[in-house]
A = this chain, B = another copy of it.
Amino acid sequence: MALNVQKPALDPSYLEKLQDYYAEHKVIPSYSVLASLWGISAKSWVSECVKRFEEAGYLDWTPDRQLKPGARFFERRLADSAVQAGLPNPAIADGYDLITIDDYLVKVPSKTSLVRVKGDSMIDAGIHEGDLLVVEQQPNANVGDVVVAIVNNEFTVKYLEREKGGFVLKPANKAYPVLRPKGGFEIFGVMAGLVRRTR
């Protein structure tokens, strides 16, 4: 009898099928559904497989003992620019990181909005027309922040800068003027990130 039993790895397709199911339904199914998903007809074996995935970090439990995705469940390969040999097959590298892009960008879901960028007034800040700006809603900001302000009942994305004791909105494009709205302006939120889709 060995003391430290190393459980063998499982059919990797099991994990992929689970991830596909999760991608579709956003939920971990019950053991009986897992059984049919994996082509198994014994819940006892499902239980065993779940234990192995749990040990591998792909599954986990809530405090109420409900099965949930583990830390590695959402991992996407994060490839670094400086990768060594063996790179053509990146599956070897274990440079895993990151969970969901959502989690990466959104800290407080209830205060986070997405704003579609119009125009190229912030092009020098790498903010292009059509980009989705991740905005944390808050009524104030620091000088130098990229803010989403409300001017003439429209959203506008600019740098917040100080000028003669007041605040102005400065574009990142020499072709545009600095905005000094009479009557001031309201800050909708601060840029927390951006998302661009190119396909």
Contact = CB atoms under 8 A, between A and B. Distances in A.
A100 to B, nearest CB: 6
A178 interface: no
Chief secondary structure at chain A's binding surface: mixed
Given A79-B115, A114-B76, A115-B79, A87 B127 contact: no
Contact of A62 (B25, B156, B195): B25
Question: How many copies of this protein are present in the complex?
Answer: 2
B66 A29 contact: yes
Interface of A: 16, 19-20, 23, 25-30, 33, 62, 64, 66-69, 73, 76-85, 87-88, 90, 98, 100-107, 109-110, 112-119, 123, 126-128, 131-132, 134-136, 146, 150, 153-156, 186, 188, 190-199
12 contacts: A29-B66, A30-B66, A79-B155, A79-B188, A80-B155, A81-B154, A90-B113, A101-B101, A101-B132, A104-B132, A105-B197, A126-B196
